[in-house]
Chains A and B, each alone.
Chain A
Amino acid sequence: MLVIKDLHASINGKEILKGINLNVKPGEVHAIMGPNGAGKSTMSNVLVGHPKYVVTKGSVTFNGKNLLDMAPEVRSHEGLFLSFQYPVEIPGVSMVNFMRSAINEQRKYHNLEPLAAGKFLKLMREKRAFVEMDSKLSNRAVNEGFSGGEKKRNEIFQMAMLEPTLAILDETDSGLDIDALRIVADGVNKLKAPDRSAIVITHYQRLLDYIKPDIIHVLYDGRIVKTAGPELALELEEKGYDWIKEELGE
Chain B
Amino acid sequence: MNIEQQYIDLFEEQYDALCHNSTELMNAPRKEAMAHFEKQGIPKKGVERYRYTRLDDVLKVDYGVNMQCLLPKFNPYKEFECDAKGLGTDLHFLVNGVYYDKKPSDAEGVYVGSLKKFAAEHPERLRPYYNRLAAAQKDSMAEFNTAFVQDGLLLFVPRNTKVEDTIQLINILHSNVDMIIFRRILVVIEQGAEAKLLLCDHVTQQQRYFSSQVIEVFVGENAHLDIYDLEETHNLTARVNHVYVEQEGNSNVVINGTTLHNGLTRNDIYVDMIGQGANVELSGMAIADKEQHVDNHTFVRHKVPNCTSHELFKYVLDDVAVGAYSGRVLVERDAQKSYSEQSSKNLCLNSKAHMYTQPQLEIYADDVKCSHGATVGQLDEDALFYMMQRGIPKTEARMLLMFAFVSDVIDQIRIPSLQERLHHLTEQRFRGELDQCAGCALCQK
Q: Which residues of A are interface residues toward B (Cβ below 8 A)?
A: 48-51, 71-73, 75-77, 81-82, 84, 87-93, 97-98, 101-102, 105-106, 109, 141-142, 158, 162
Contact = CB atoms under 8 A, between A and B. Distances in A.
A73 to B, nearest CB: 5
13 contacts: A71-B394, A72-B385, A73-B389, A73-B392, A76-B390, A84-B386, A90-B386, A92-B403, A92-B405, A93-B404, A102-B387, A105-B391, A158-B390
Contacts of B396: 101, 105
Contact of B391 (A73, A87, A90, A142): A73
A90 B404 contact: yes
Give the contact-size bracket for chain B. Answer: 20 to 34
B382 A141 contact: no
A221 to B, nearest CB: 26
Interface in B365-402: 380, 382-383, 385-394, 396, 400-401
Contacts of A88: 380, 382-383, 385-386
Interface string B45-59: 000000000000000
A162 B391 contact: yes
Nearest to B393: A73
Interface of B: 380, 382-383, 385-394, 396, 400-401, 403-405, 407-408
A141 B403 CA distance: 13
A98 B396 CA distance: 10
A101 B400 contact: yes
Contact of B408 (A75, A92, A93): A92
A105 B393 contact: yes
A160 to B, nearest CB: 13
Given A97-B400, A101-B400, A141-B404, A90 B392 contact: no
B383 to A, nearest CB: 5
A82 B382 CA distance: 14
Given A73-B392, A73-B393, A101-B392, 18 more contacts: A50-B385, A71-B393, A72-B389, A73-B388, A73-B391, A88-B385, A90-B387, A90-B404, A91-B404, A92-B403, A92-B404, A93-B404, A97-B400, A98-B387, A102-B387, A102-B392, A105-B396, A162-B391
B392 A92 contact: no
Contacts of A51: 385
B114 to A, nearest CB: 42
Contacts of B400: 93, 97-98, 101
A169 B115 CA distance: 67
Chain A CB within 10 Å, residue with most, of B387, B390, B404, B407: B390
Contacts of A162: 390-391
B404 A76 contact: no
B407 to A, nearest CB: 6
A245 to B, nearest CB: 33
A98 B389 CA distance: 12
A105 B380 contact: no
Nearest to A72: B388
A92 B423 CA distance: 13
A82 B387 contact: no
Contacts of A106: 391
A100 to B, nearest CB: 10
A48 B389 contact: yes
A49 B386 CA distance: 11
A95 to B, nearest CB: 11
Contacts of A91: 404
A82 B393 CA distance: 16
Contacts of B390: 76, 98, 102, 158, 162
A97 B400 CA distance: 9
